[in-house]
Amino acid sequence: MTYSAPLRDMAFLLHRVLKVQDQDIPGYADLDESFTGAVLEEAGKISAEILAPLNAVGDREGCRLENGVVRTPTGFREGFDALRQGGWTALDCDPEFGGQGLPYLMHTVANEPFVSANMALNMYMGLTHGAYSAIRVHGSAEQKAYYLPKLASCEWTGTMNLTEPHCGTDLGLIRTRAEPATDGSWRITGTKIFISAGDHDMADNIVHLVLAKAPGGGEGTRGISLFVVPKVLEGGARNAVSAGKVEEKMGIHGNATCVMNYDGATGWLIGDLHKGMRAMFTMMNEARLGVGMQGYAVAEAAYQQAATYARERLQGHAAGETSGPAAPLIVHPDIRRSLMDQKAFIEGARALTYWGATLIDRAHRLQDSAAEGLISLLIPVIKGFQTDKGFDAAVAAQQIWGGHGYIEDNPMSQFARDARIAMIYEGANGVQALDLVGRKLGADGGKAVMAFFALVKAECMAHDADPRMDPFTRPLKVASKQMQAAGMYFLSAGMKNPSDALSGSTDFLHLVGHVCLGLMWVRMARAALTGLEAGEDAFLSAKLVTARHYLTRHLPACALHLARIEAGGETVMALDAQAF
């Protein structure tokens, strides 16, 4: 694969759409265009030159368990070293622990090229960042001092241990036990599965965060506590934790997905006893936004290969021509239609993700509860919608390569296989939809969704005097009304019969996703029009075309989703389980 970071689009979003320096979030004033440009250019360079060439290697070689040690693919250590040495692992970490203290937004934006170029390798860093955040918020001062500098630098890496063979989403079922030892530590015993980066040969230590049941916590999720269980104990002894297996997976072969066996391993409580769920899920918004980013970032890589192939592959003739030399694929309307669909989704999702990251910064750096409410509402959409559509986009990009896209000599199959996992992990997309409809929609009396509607309305009305904006705002107004109608349906139907509401949960997640991307495209169109007042610019002109493409060809999906939502649960719930 070849990869080129979309630097112009990134700069456009940061400085023309989000106008980061105009925002009142602490730290944002420093994000001037030359600084962000230099950071992102360097991130793009490492991605293109070091990480992208390792992507196929990781897919082909995978990870192997040899004599109790997990071996990562050739070159992965050197790739990881490039990230570590460049300070990329700690952009938004606390300077107290060796970080650079930049906003979370910059972490997000800088990570995109790494994910596009090599999702599997980037995950070693991503999981570590999650462990860093959990310990930073919930750990004791000693734990922070001991773990955080090593995690910030990725000298040590981290893992999240939730899933067990018999339980995924329903964590109340976990069986891993924690028994108190006399020295204040705990003995952890149990089996965890699907542990990304569970073991590998690229770090001196691996810091496992483990959900386990300690005595006295009661039934279900209430009994769960969070423990830190390092692979290597202080002093250098090996802890009683080991990788029992490396899974063979559909994709992300370069990341070691392990079965982890805890055989009375020594661990220490993080945060309060029996409050493990809360501790684990503090970081959920960031983790899920990161997965939503994977959705479009892998699609971006696939799209780049598809566009190049479409320009170079000679096949057939343009409409109306029947002879002469063959033309490149890109003359064919259906190929262009597919490329435009991919492009419009990717750029819209990028905008939504960056905006989401600013909301997280606003919530954390300004203790802004409105921003916290809004991002909590949007997170299941960013995760679920963007990974569903990101997979579709990767598959569409693969399709442009024809039969060559199905052959593993070429990069396209890997993008589709890698993108597939993002729909599943960090809460399967059906669970995201349930979270949206069953929890987020009605949270705090529906405050967040009302704020969202107000925001969409304000965006549309702001341009009522500008006829150039009409083609952009009109479809968004229609879609926003459909989203409101869906909300009303849930309010009335959900009261009577929850199954009627929940049968439409995935459709609602997609409906909101389209409204969000519609909102982003209106904002981008406005910024592009403003920019064009200064003179012709091919990038900005393309933005306007792409905006209309998304708004006219994709927002009409909202009517379909509304029709399905309003169909309720009758046909969904009618059949006996044995009739399937």
305-324 residues near a second copy, rule: CB under 8 A = 307, 310-311, 314-316, 319-320, 323
406 binds a second copy (CB under 8 A): yes
Reference 546, options 342, 305, 391, 308; nearest CA is 342
**In angstroms, what is the minimal distance from the CB of 577 to a second copy?**
5
Q: Residue 210: which residues within 8 A CB-CB, separation 6 or more? A: 161, 176, 188, 192, 226, 227, 228, 229, 262, 267
Contact flags string 528-547 toward a second copy, x per CB under 8 A: ----------x---x--xx-
Whose tokens are 């403003």? That residue is 530
Reference 261, options 221, 208, 336; nearest CA is 208
User: What are 358's two structure tokens?
Assistant: 């600013």
Of the two residues 424 and 451, which places its CB atom closer to a second copy in the complex?
Answer: 424
* Beta-carbon count within 10 A of 537 CB: 13
**In angstroms, what is the minimal distance from the CB of 426 to a second copy?**
11
Residues 51-110 contacting a second copy, CB under 8 A: none
**Among 82, 232, 428, 485, which residue interacts with a second copy (rule: CB under 8 A)?**
428
Of the two residues 28 and 303, which places its CB atom closer to a second copy in the complex?
Answer: 303
**Among 337, 457, 468, 496, which residue interacts with a second copy (rule: CB under 8 A)?**
337
**In angstroms, what is the minimal distance from the CB of 194 to a second copy?**
5
11 binds a second copy (CB under 8 A): no
Decide if 96 is catalytic.
no
417 binds a second copy (CB under 8 A): yes
**CA gap 171, 187 in Å, rounded:** 20
Residues that contact a second copy, how many (by CB under 8 A): 96
425 binds a second copy (CB under 8 A): yes
**In angstroms, what is the minimal distance from the CB of 297 to a second copy?**
17
**CA gap 299, 395 in Å, rounded:** 9
Q: Residue 251: which residues within 8 A CB-CB, separation 6 or more? A: 59, 414, 416, 417, 418, 419, 420, 421
495 binds a second copy (CB under 8 A): no
Residue type, 191: T
C-beta contacts of 490-497 below 8 A and 24+ residues apart: 490/437, 490/441, 490/565, 493/568, 494/437, 497/568, 497/569
Of the two residues 33 and 321, which places its CB atom closer to a second copy in the complex?
Answer: 321
Residues 137-196 contacting a second copy, CB under 8 A: 163, 166-170, 172-173, 193-194
**In angstroms, what is the minimal distance from the CB of 169 to a second copy?**
6
The answer to whether residues 181 and 237 touch, using CB atoms and an 8 Å cutoff, is no
Reference 183, options 93, 266, 109; nearest CA is 266
Of the two residues 73 and 251, which places its CB atom closer to a second copy in the complex?
Answer: 251
The active-site residue out of 112, 286, 347, 426 is: 426
Active site positions, annotated: 426
